[in-house]
Structure 1
């Protein structure tokens, strides 16, 4: 079980790549509950490094959603304008570049010029087939991505509620990308670097992101970033749609924006959160939920 206190630092880190759905809000609420019940600090960070999918309307939706839910933050941007001027990840490219250079100096990454089509054609298990691992392709080639060499072993994730979980990245995320072909750093590296800078020691994620946690722990191991490896991690079960599938921006799951614009209230979100925590009664606000919340009520995956 996790030990939380006033030194707890958590973060809510949405991506502006689509309109947020109920599953996103559920994760936000659980993070808020854990941090507020501990008396710790909560940071808003918007992960906008994926410039290809970024839309300003998606960024606006993040701030509108947090206001609609009534979730307060201690640090981070309070508006779209403030985010763009002071908090965008594009303002910290030099910092991510330093981490990439360290990985390169350690001999743990390699350049890869394979297209998604070729990887799909050559792979026997859906994973990257290692095509460029031993090739002498230049790192400075504009048509190459940088991949980290994963190892065929389990990465141990200490989940504060579900216990020890093991992920073999070689089977699940073999040689994942840390720098994309356009020269931009990739999510796994960026998220890790930001968590270290912000002093995050509580990471709450859906069960579908367990492999991301393992990937970031693997990078932290290489980069000797012990503070991340010592953080508390909680992976919660996913909310599913009527057909039993996980909610997804890309699949057009019912958005919170649609719910708001059609007269819906946040009570439905808090009701789902309460149900997942085994709480009964009329819970319609974040405050109502916090008054009934206890860490022991968190569901396992």
Structure 2
């Protein structure tokens, strides 16, 4: 059982500035904002721009402007001062290096020389959902074998997980458990190009920024056990997690940034901020009809018990209405 911390709530919204926010991103941002504000907490905006090939500063600036336009303001983080900066992951590499060294000092990491094809071949679908789990073949290489491979290939680095079960209670979904070695496997924390991976960065940042409430999509639920393992090994107390439903098309496909007609740029041409927020509140089960509302107006009626536990199907006709002059 995981013991989480805190009396004063510190939540965060941590988007990746790789394009315009889509409807699902805004849905999560709204619920994260409501959950923190309903408890009188502090909200942090962090830009998770680890991927230098996809993330751009102009996207980060646009994202911040869109959040303000929607009424989803924050107290600390990107564009503001704060005691835990910098608030862009691309500026925190030295910090991640120290966290990586702390894991290495515990002999928890090892180099992995597998190519993508080799990683797939060295994996097995242990999980019920068919996801592949790396079998740890590079964990057992000898020092001589590693020296030879170092001559021709730059390794990624993995965390060696134990045969241990991680159990926690999600604030929205309830109990969840996972066996690290069978359901997760040894996972990458630094890529072969030297970029630190999401799993390490998010734990290190949330720990250092004293985040004690994380609201995010259900697609990240199965990342939580491995992150809880890292929280323990890095000496941080974990936050309480709330995993929210994903917005999906009628065919079950998750909305993404490829859905250009549902990104915020397109939506702003058709709707006011209250119309967008009101429709999202309706999808979240907070209201009986998609009536216009700003986030602050939803605070008196917000409750996690109202939010669906399963994915929410988006009726696109609700999002095609032209803006009324």
TM-score by length of 1: 0.87
List aligned pairs for 1:230-249, cutoff 5 A.
Answer: 231-249=239-257
Could you tell me how far 1:36 is from its partner in structure 2? Answer: 0.7
Aligned counterparts of 1:37 and 1:294: Cα–Cα separation in 2: 9
Report the alpha carbon displacement of residue 185 of structure 1 after superposing the two structures with TM.
Answer: 1.2
Q: Distance in 2 between matches of 1:21 and 1:153?
A: 37
Report the Cα offset of residue 250 of structure 1: 5.7
Comparing 12-21 with 170-179, greater Cα deviation is found at: 170-179
In 1, the alpha carbon distance for the partners of 2:260 and 2:134 equals: 28
Structure 2 Cα separation of the partners of residues 250 and 128 of structure 1? 29
Q: CA RMSD in A?
A: 2.7
Report the Cα offset of residue 74 of structure 1.
Answer: 0.6
What residue in structure 2 maps to residue 104 of structure 1? 104
CA contact (8 A) 1:146 1:177 kept: yes
| Preserved contact between residue 27 and residue 205 of structure 1 (Cα < 8 Å) | yes
Match of 1:77 in 2: 78
Aligned residues of 2:5 and 2:212 also touching (Cα < 8 A):
no
1:297 aligns with 2:297: no
Alignment check: 8 A CA contact 1:6 1:38 kept: no
- The alpha carbon displacement at 1:55 in A equals 2.5
Q: Which structure has the bigger radius of gyration?
A: 2
Equivalence map 1:136-175=2 (5 Å): 136=143, 137=146, 143-175=154-186
Aligned residue pairs total 291
1:218 aligns with 2:225: no
Per the alignment, residue 60 of structure 1 pairs with 61
- Report the Cα offset of residue 253 of structure 1: 7.3
Q: What does residue 34 of structure 2 align with?
A: 33
Q: How far apart are residue 255 of structure 1 and its match?
A: 1.4
Equivalents in 1 of 2:189, 2:180: separation in Å? 14
Query: CA–CA distance in 1 between the matches of 2:253 and 2:261?
Result: 10
- Kept in 1, the 8 Å contact 2:42–2:75? The answer is yes
1:11 Cα deviation from its structure 2 partner: 0.3
Gaps of 5+ in 1: none
Match of 1:275 in 2: 283
> Kindly tell me: are residues 151 and 252 of structure 1, through their superposed partners in 2, closer, same or farther at Cα, counting changes over 3 Å?
farther
2:214 aligned counterpart, secondary structure? strand
